[in-house]
Structure formats: structure tokens, C-alpha cells
Amino acid sequence: MSNVDLKKRIKYNKKRRKKKKKTKISIDRDNGVYVALILLVLIGLLLVFTSSSYYALYEQGDLYFFIRKQAMWAVIGLGFMELFARVDYHFLRKFTWPLAGGTLGLLVLVLVIGKEINGAKRWIEVGGLSIQPSEIAKYAVVFILAHIIVKMGKEIKTIKKGIFLPLSIGAIFAVLVLAEKNLSITVVIAMVTYFMIMVAGANIRVLLGLIPVGFLGGLGLIIIEPYRLERLTTYLNPWADQSDSGYQLVHSLMAIGSGGVTGQGLGNSMQKALYMPEPHNDFIFAILAEEFGLLGCIFVIGLFIFLIISAIKVAMKAKDIYGRLLAIGITLVIAIQAIINISVVTGSIPVTGVPLPFISTGGTSLLINLVAMGVLLNIAKQGKKNRIDDEDDVIVRR
């Protein structure tokens, strides 16, 4: 290549970089992640309103009680998402251990002063707002594991540092969450920990050997608690006790069945009319199925799949190993929760309390998930910027 051609190529690439900087959506956000995310949040607001209307009017005397709160948290969450999308994720690494200590403190505090609902202490009341520390714990584990895995380098291949240390950290958080009687989030933390160290390159034979141990441990946790054992037996035959233990699952299946292919139409759900307990929470997907049918369900599931695939692409193109592990961890949290929630609602696994990300009502969950998405968007931004710089280097070398 002649000097004239080289200068032209460099000049062209500089113009292209300036153009990319002006077009914010191409560098400040990953298009796939951003579009799918905004659609899920908007669909979530619509579903919270339609699913909670009867319950809100009956319990609070205000038709807009739940949608007003959810919309407020959505606006706040999207604001924080934009903020964290502009904060270099490497800067956040400095706060790994303060985040760990603060989260552990909240998990202990909730056991002492937490608000008890249905026999479980999961919420801390602060000035009329409810904070759920377990929602923070899921992502705290992701940040901690990404940090220590990068520091250990090739020692990830050893059993002591590559498997025992990360599993021990995950176990500390999981045990504290389990003490809240929150087995579902405990499972999420355990699975995120397991898959993060697997992706990082830990000894695969040892990890595969831990699968039956984890299965037996989970089964043991179910058996020792009568209400968990009841949920398992109900899952096997929910119709046997449809007026008590099988009530919620039966009405969920009825909602899905009555929705058919195209649904009953927006606002026309029967199950939300005080038949299904708190339909705007963990079983909101059933209301989606009833009002928008199979087509609506396929669309929402498709959005989750598109979001997850886009997030995986962000991880693959991340600037460094730390960014890659963060992106993988964030993706795992969202994917595992979505899979568990939809599986529960459709009767594919026993009933357990996992919200559907971005859609189920819940301020803490929505806020924390959106903050995590902001971090993911920054990883995408850094990856794009790094690729542009690499292209310049290639041109110069030529």
C-alpha cells in the first residue's frame, strides 16, 4: 500500500470514528440489548397494570396503586441504567469488596429487622420503601467472582482456587439468602456461581462431579421443610388439592389454557379478578398467556432469547476477561430467572418464588436489573471502542 493510500485510509477511519461518536446509540448502547430491554420494560408496565387492576382496587382502593409504583421504579431504573452505561466498568471494580461487605451486612440485617411476609423475612422497610437484599446479592456474587477469577489467572485450573474458593464465596451468600426462606434465589446464586467458574475454565471433570452433589443437596433442602415438600408433591399432581396447595398452579394453568392462540384480549383476564393471588407478581406470565395467548407468550419469550443472545455477543466481544465475566454473570442472572419463572408458571417445575425480570412487579428487582443492564451496555461500549481502535492499528500496520 502506498503512502497516499495509507493516509486516505487513516483519514477515512477517523471520519468514521467521529460519525460513530455522534450517533450515540451505535456506541453508547448495544442495539440488540437496548431494544429488547426497552420493549420488555414497556410490556412489563402494561402487564402490571392489567394484571393488578382488580387486586389494587380491592386491597388498596386505588386502581393505579401498583402501576404507579412500578412506573416510578422503571423511570428511576432507566435513569440509573443510563448512568451506569456511561461509567467505565473497570472503575466499578474498585468497589468490589465494599459491595460484598455491604450486601452481606444487609443479608444479616434482614434476618434481624426484616419484614416478615408469609413466614419469610426478605424485605427491609426504609422510609416506606421495601428493599430486598437478595436481589442485590445475585449481582454482588457476579462482581466478586469476576474480580477474583481475573486475579487468580491460570490458577483457575486448580481445585483449591479455581473451584473451592469461588464455590465458598457463592455458598456464603447462598446460605444467608436461604436463611430468609428464599430457596429460589439461593438456587439462582448457586447456578450463577457454577456456570461462571465453568466458563472461566475451571476443572470440568470436578465440576461435572459436583452436579449429583448439588442435586442431592437441593433435594435435601426440599425434604427437610414441610412447605417445600408440599410444593413438590403438588407439582406432581396439582389437581389433587386444587383448593389449597395446588390452587395457584391450577389457576395459572387455567389462565394459560383459556388464552388459546390469540388470547382473550387486553384487560379481559378472568383469573386476575381475585382468583389468582397477586397475579402481578411471580405469575404475571399466566396473565400474559390469558390476555395475549400463545402468540403473546412467544413474542415475550422471543424478546428474552434475543436479549440473552445479544448479551452473549457483548460478552464475546468484551475488551478484557473481567468485562467478559461480568457480562456472562449478568446474562446468567437474567436467563436463569426467566427460565425458572416461566417453567413454574407453566407447571414444568415445582412452584418457587422467582420474579420474571423486567416484567413482574417489584421495585428492588427492576431497579437492580436495570443497573446491571447499564453495566452490560458499558461493556458493549468498551468492546466497540476497542474494536475501532484495533481496526486503526491494522490499517497502520499495513
The answer to whether position 14 is within a domain reads no
- Residue 375: pLDDT above 90? yes
pLDDT of residue 9: 60
Assign 387 a pLDDT band (cuts: 50, 70, 90): low
Whether 162 and 260 share a structural domain:
no
> Once rounded to an integer, what is the mean pLDDT over residues 362-381?
94
The answer to whether position 13 is within a domain reads no
Q: What is the pLDDT of residues 307-324, one digit of tens each?
A: 999 999 999 999 999 999
- Residue 394: pLDDT above 50? no
Whether 333 and 261 share a structural domain:
yes
Q: What integer best gives the mean pLDDT of the chain?
A: 87
pLDDT of residue 130: 82
- Residue 396: pLDDT above 60? no
- Among 27-31, 63-67, 277-281, where is mean pLDDT lowest? 27-31
Range of the domain at 144: 115-224
Tell me the three cell numbers of residue 99. Answer: 459491595
Whether 299 and 266 share a structural domain:
yes
In the listed set 190, 224, 258, which residue is the last one of a domain according to the structure?
Answer: 224
Whether 366 and 266 share a structural domain:
yes
- Residue 20: pLDDT above 60? no
pLDDT of residue 79: 96
Cα-flanking dihedrals φ and ψ of residue 158, to 5°? Answer: -80, 155
Task: Name which residue leads in pLDDT, 226 or 386.
Answer: 226
pLDDT of residue 90: 95
In the listed set 224, 250, 267, which residue is the last one of a domain according to the structure?
Answer: 224
The answer to whether position 110 is within a domain reads no
Per the structure, the count of domains in the chain is 2
Q: In the chain, pLDDT over 90 holds for what percent of residues? A: 56
pLDDT of residue 28: 44
Q: What is the pLDDT of residues 65-92, one digit of tens each?
A: 999 999 999 999 999 999 999 999 999 9
Whether 278 and 396 share a structural domain:
yes
Whether 259 and 392 share a structural domain:
yes
The answer to whether position 210 is within a domain reads yes
pLDDT of residue 276: 86
The answer to whether position 180 is within a domain reads yes
- Residue 32: pLDDT above 90? no
Q: What is the pLDDT of residues 159-193, one digit of tens each?
A: 888 889 999 999 999 999 999 888 889 999 999 99
The answer to whether position 217 is within a domain reads yes
Specify whether the CB–CB gap between 246 and 212 falls below 8 A.
no
The answer to whether position 279 is within a domain reads yes
pLDDT of residue 306: 96
Whether 147 and 263 share a structural domain:
no
- Residue 118: pLDDT above 60? yes
> Once rounded to an integer, what is the mean pLDDT over residues 273-281?
86
What is d(CA 248, CA 243) in angstroms, rounded to the nearest whole number?
A: 9
> Once rounded to an integer, what is the mean pLDDT over residues 140-148?
96
Orientation of helix 183-199 relative to helix 321-345, angle to 10°:
140
What is d(CA 382, CA 387) in angstroms, rounded to the nearest whole number?
A: 9
- Residue 26: pLDDT above 60? no
> Using H for helix, E for strand and C for coil, what is the string for the chain?
CCHHHHHHHHHHHHHHHHHHHHCHHHHCCCHHHHHHHHHHHHHHHHHHHHHHHHHHHHHHCCCCHHHHHHHHHHHHHHHHHHHHHCCCHHHHHHHHHHHHHHHHHHHHHHHHHCEEECCEEEEEEECCEEECHHHHHHHHHHHHHHHHHHHHHHHHHCHHHHHHHHHHHHHHHHHHHHHCCCHHHHHHHHHHHHHHHHHCCCCHHHHHHHHHHHHHHHHHHHHHCHHHHHHHHHHHCHHHHCCCCCHHHHHHHHHHHHHCCCCCCCCCCCCCCCCCCCCCCCCHHHHHHHHHHHHHHHHHHHHHHHHHHHHHHHHHCCCCHHHHHHHHHHHHHHHHHHHHHHHHHCCCCCCCCCCCCCCCCCHHHHHHHHHHHHHHHHHHHHHHHHHHHHHHHHHHHC
In the listed set 170, 197, 224, which residue is the last one of a domain according to the structure?
Answer: 224
- Among 18-32, 247-261, 323-337, where is mean pLDDT lowest? 18-32
HSE value, Cβ hemisphere, 13 Å, CA-based, for 181:
16
Whether 171 and 128 share a structural domain:
yes
Whether 252 and 374 share a structural domain:
yes
Query: Maximum Cα–Cα distance for the chain, whole Å?
Result: 82
- Residue 222: pLDDT above 60? yes
Whether 362 and 295 share a structural domain:
yes
Whether 202 and 70 share a structural domain:
no
Whether 70 and 120 share a structural domain:
no
Highest-confidence segment of 9-13, 30-34, 97-101, 211-215: 97-101
The answer to whether position 348 is within a domain reads yes
- Residue 395: pLDDT above 70? no
